[in-house]
Structure 1
Amino acid sequence: MSAPGSTLSHERPFTVVRGAAPDVRALAGAVAAVGNFDGVHLGHKAVIGRAQALAARLGRPACVLTFDPHPRAFFRPDEPIFPLTPEPVKLALLARMGLDGAIVLPFDSALAAMTAQDFLADLFVRRLGLSGVVAGYDFHFGNNRQGTPAFLAEQGRALGLAVDIVEPMALEGGPVSSTAIRRALAEGGVEQAARLLGYRWVVRAAVQHGDKRGRTLGYPTANLRMAPGCALRHGIYAVRIAIDGAVHDGVASFGRRPTFDDGAPLLEVFVFDWSGDLYGRTVDVEFAAWLRGELKFDSAEALVARMDKDSLEARAALARAPDVPAPSALPLRSV
């Protein structure tokens, strides 16, 4: 199946309910697209689109049912997963897709121990009151992943649920998956990741105080700690950053600053043609293009000369960055 062109929809009222006993008045009898939806990529959007179509046929609300934390983070806490869209970004993206809302279930020991049958009869039907479930071809659920797509289709329908299983999606000869997107980002392939996502990859983080070295170099930066497990390739990127709803161009370095301290990985964003105090504020940063790998310079002067070149290259990359097939997701509103 080939990926169609993708755009983010206009936002509409979007209700978020948490836990296994949501306010049924908000999403009563909903059809739910079920999954982790890390990345909210084109394959996820196909699942969500089918849920919206089924909900429209049944005259029901359409929502997403997702989990936090990611099940892998629960089962393997010592192996942090590379999060493409931590919950705030995921919900902001979902809110733009014309859904009525999202149900966020805490993935804990009780949920992990639930049998596949109880997952359907007790959770989906009795406690959540769903009228339909749509899932991807690889969705598994219940203790020891007993619940397969075939089990969901057979047993769900026996319980009165409308069920739809969505086939895999391929693009450019490969699968559209969160794993493929993580692999692309780990190689610095932000443009390839954008083609699979259907939008340019975005991170959200609070601006922190740094050592103020950028000011002395003529490049004051907004410093952001990426999420634990982030495996983005270290290097220089052309970026866009949303500040108070306005989007600005910039250039960013992600890495350990080998010229100076070789410390913990940090995202440092220099915003073009803008000045102000961002400390403590949460911003969204969108990655448009990869420029080069991280380098160690013999002097601050050599570093500044290269930063001047990087800035020119970033401006050029942003000027030619296409809006399709990977449109900007900025600005994102909080949900």
Structure 2
Amino acid sequence: MRIHHDWKALPLDARGASVAMGNFDGVHLGHRSVIDAARAACDAPLGVITFEPHPRQFFAGDGPAFRLMNAESRANRLARLGVDHLYELPFDAVLAGFTPEDFAREVLVGGLGIRHVTVGADFCFGRQRSGSAQTLTQLGAELGFGVTVAPLIGDGAVEYSSTAIRQALAQGRTRDAERMLGHWHRIDGEVLHGDKRGRDLGYPTANMAVEGLHLPQLGVYAVLVDVLTGPDRGSYKGVASLGVRPMFGVNRPNLEVHIFDFNADLYGQHLSVALVEYLRPEARFDSLDALVAQMDRDSQSAREILATR
């Protein structure tokens, strides 16, 4: 998959795609239906148009973190779906100020030269979200590109949405989130240097930042781990703690991942960590021995849960 960070001066072979357009936070089953419709719309390379930062971040940057995935994680997921071109457009004051007509004419036609665009039924675009899917259909007819409006989907009980997935994760309901996502919720990122306490306790961990992401329920999880870079690239099983480490007085959340039967140095490598099952909340223990005993129990529980994965 090729990633383009602007709509201007694109090479000729990056133009003329059939694109799905939206924020695609989580790349859930509703998003995948939009992407599948774009794939089927015409005989053209498959593209995805999305925005970075997320428009909600641009307009309310000091609000609580809400994103299910960062740009790296979203790109990894879209690549797995067979997307040829990811147009990760910079969402800035210029783009925010475009009317729907400006956006269609300048970006979709003039910049990307799209053949077809597919959006969800609830899609809005343009200054102050003044354009709808119906507006886009009218503009496509005027400007010469096709438009498909994909219906919203769900399972009868709930409509698949990023909001519903955030709610499930905030309550530790990883399997409900997986049902709506079509895949396990993952946290992707670089392994950072930590304080190495886990190694001293017999549980070395790979530490990852979670700033800017919606936090699932804090606590301990059984996890599947993909090492994406470096000599130890591959898929592993493990247990992870998402939280503020109350035993050690740390108040900034992070993700600490212990990979079973693994002893390599992962600093600077990139991981993708799937939260498979919530085991327990964070806790403060009376002693390090009590902490290690609980870590032993957590690891055993995680091994049993992941035995068939």
TM over 0.5: yes
Write the letter of the residue equivalent to 1:161. F
Match of 1:100 in 2: 84
Q: CA–CA distance in 2 between the matches of 1:28 and 1:264?
A: 43
Say if 1:80 and 1:229, in contact at 8 Å, map to a contact too.
Answer: no
State the SS of the aligned residue for 1:287. strand
Say if 1:20 and 1:123, in contact at 8 Å, map to a contact too.
Answer: yes
Q: CA–CA distance in 1 between the matches of 2:179 and 2:32?
A: 13
Count of residues paired in the alignment: 305
- Equivalent of residue 218 in structure 2, options 234, 247, 251: 234
Q: Is 1:319 the counterpart of 2:303 in the alignment?
A: no
Match of 2:110 in 1: 126
* 1:314 CA displacement: 0.3
Q: Which residues of structure 2 form unaligned runs of 5+?
A: none
State the SS of the aligned residue for 1:74. helix
- Equivalent of residue 20 in structure 2, options 33, 50, 55: 33
* 1:230 CA displacement: 3.0
Segment drifting more, 127-136 vs 201-210: 201-210
Could you give the per-residue CA deviations for residues 215-247 of structure 1, whole angstroms, max 9, x where no partner exists?
Answer: 222111111111324322110000121233311
State the SS of the aligned residue for 1:228. coil
Q: CA–CA distance in 2 between the matches of 1:26 and 1:305?
A: 58
Could you give the per-residue CA deviations for residues 103-137 of structure 1, whole angstroms, max 9, x where no partner exists?
Answer: 11100000000001111122211222111111001
Instruction: Report sequence identity in percent.
Output: 43
Say if 2:69 and 2:213, in contact at 8 Å, map to a contact too.
Answer: no
Say if 2:6 and 2:90, in contact at 8 Å, map to a contact too.
Answer: yes
Match of 2:149 in 1: 165
So what's the TM-score if we normalise by structure 2?
0.94
Match of 1:6 in 2: none
- Equivalent of residue 58 in structure 2, options 64, 74, 82: 74
State the SS of the aligned residue for 1:224. strand
Match of 1:330 in 2: none
Write the letter of the residue equivalent to 1:242. D
Q: CA–CA distance in 2 between the matches of 1:262 and 1:207?
A: 18
Cα distance change of structure 1 residues 231 and 151 upon mapping to structure 2, 3 Å threshold: same
* 1:271 CA displacement: 1.0
Cα distance change of structure 1 residues 198 and 22 upon mapping to structure 2, 3 Å threshold: farther
So what's the TM-score if we normalise by structure 1?
0.87
Q: CA–CA distance in 2 between the matches of 1:305 and 1:283?
A: 27
How is 1:144-223 mapped onto 2 (pairs within 5 angstroms)? Answer: 144-171=128-155, 173-223=157-207
Q: CA–CA distance in 2 between the matches of 1:303 and 1:110?
A: 52
- Equivalent of residue 45 in structure 1, options 29, 32, 36: 32
Q: Is 1:301 the counterpart of 2:298 in the alignment?
A: no
Say if 1:72 and 1:81, in contact at 8 Å, map to a contact too.
Answer: no
Q: CA–CA distance in 1 between the matches of 2:206 and 2:84?
A: 35
Say if 1:258 and 1:295, in contact at 8 Å, map to a contact too.
Answer: yes
Segment drifting more, 305-314 vs 115-124: 115-124
Q: CA–CA distance in 1 between the matches of 2:254 and 2:187?
A: 13
- Equivalent of residue 273 in structure 1, options 248, 251, 261: 261
Say if 2:70 and 2:213, in contact at 8 Å, map to a contact too.
Answer: no
Q: Is 1:60 the counterpart of 2:44 in the alignment?
A: yes
State the SS of the aligned residue for 1:175. coil
Write the letter of the residue equivalent to 2:88. V
State the SS of the aligned residue for 2:176. helix
